[in-house]
Amino acid sequence: MIRKIKNFLHGWQATLASSLYGRPGEKIFTIGVTGTDGKTTTASLIFHILRTAGLNPAMITTVVAQIGEEVFDTGLHITTPSTFWMQRYIKKAIKNNCDYLVLEVTSHALDQNRVHGIDFKIGVITNVSPEHLDYHGTYENYLKTKSKLLRQAKIAILNKNDESYEPLKAILKGKDVRTYSINNKNGFKFPNHTQFNISNFLAAVSVAKIIGIDKKVIEKAISTFKMPEGRQEVVYDKQFRVIIDFAHTPNAFGNVLPEVKKTTRGRLIHVFGAAGQRDKSKRPLMGEISSKHSDVIILTAEDPRSEKIEDINAQIKLGIKNFEGELFELSDRQEAISKAVRIAQKGDTIIITGKGHEKSMNLGRGEEPWSDHAAVKHALTRDI
């Protein structure tokens, strides 16, 4: 009941914000992107394709809001900004004569009615794997919440290879539903380095095709696209390689780690943890998947909040069975990253997951400044 009241108030606030800024969400062609993993990459590629086609899009994602040549930081642990900030960004986009808006949308934003007042022309979903169950309770509730974007949109785009496809198709019966699949690339050429992101790329291509962008323009955009900050981002590549990635779910681990392993000549060193006060059921699964692909695992802090880091990592270790590699536990994330750099040998790859672009970490005392990028730089300066 309390949550329903809060969501009603969020919806009322969204309506107020929309009215205050002149209902900008009704005046621009909006493409909404939701899903458990891959939202930022998909939204960023859609934006890049539109720009490559000579259009003037705006974009709001986890990492940044971009309107014209202006780039704005969208926050710390926030994917979809507050209603007032969002409406302000959209109004600014209209003032800058933007013809499209690409908006990354979370399940929380959908459940809390924070995108109320936005006229979605296209809604695309990347995938839906169990996540945020601490908030939604069940996978079914989570899926139903995600479907709100697709139900609101004029055209819904589904991932035919994802477990969410059949239940979403049933929910969206009678709606204009389009699909994409790794089994049908429609003659498009994708660079080798995009393979672990192929579904996200196909989702973006599906949007571009609906809009009517020429195939050659789409392929040019794909070939010139640079991944967003903290998404499979190579931050060091000399004696060994260091990658920072936002992956923080079993599904993301299952997509990213095997592909990184394929391109690693030496050992794969994985530094990660799990967020506190969040879905605990995923922790052993993350440990299990990492142990299948990593040679060295270093468990550490990752927004533990009020939980003990040792307790979180003990739950991760429940999934690490018959692991023949080395396992370390260093609660201090800087120490963990420095340890990875110290033990790295020629040909090894260090992948640091969970924080990506984020600029803060919650250690139980609220948000404190943190950057995996800065931590890697510090480690390399001291240990190389």
End-to-end CA distance of the chain: 56
Q: What is the mean pLDDT of each run of 10 residues along the chain (384 residues)?
A: 68 82 93 93 97 97 88 64 86 96 91 89 91 71 91 97 94 95 85 78 97 96 91 93 94 92 96 92 96 98 95 97 96 97 97 94 92 96 70
Tell me, what's the pLDDT at 131? 66
Question: What backbone torsions phi and psi does residue 304 show, to the nearest 5 degrees?
Answer: -65, -20
Cβ-Cβ contacts under 8 Å for 25 (sequence gap 6 or more): 18, 87, 90, 115, 117, 118, 119
pTM of the model: 0.85
Radius of gyration for the alpha carbons in the chain, expressed in angstroms and rounded? 21
Tell me, what's the pLDDT at 180? 96
CB atoms within 10 A of CB 188: 14
- Outline which parts of the chain fall under CATH 3.90.190.20: 233-383
Tell me, what's the pLDDT at 137? 73
Write down the residue that tokens 């930081």 correspond to.
73
Write down the residue that tokens 């640079």 correspond to.
226
CATH code assigned to 233-383: 3.90.190.20
CA distance 247 to 174: 35
Residue 162 structure tokens: 């994802």
Query: Nearest 5°: CA angle at 91, between 7 and 100?
Result: 95
Write down the residue that tokens 């943190």 correspond to.
370
- Outline which parts of the chain fall under CATH 3.40.1190.10: 2-224
Tell me, what's the pLDDT at 337? 98
CA distance 350 to 305: 25
Q: According to the CATH classification, is domain 2-224 in 3.40.1190.10?
A: yes
Residue 288 structure tokens: 């299990």
CA distance 240 to 335: 18
Tell me, what's the pLDDT at 79? 52
Tell me, what's the pLDDT at 142? 85
Let me know: does 148 contact 55? Beta carbons within 8 Å.
no
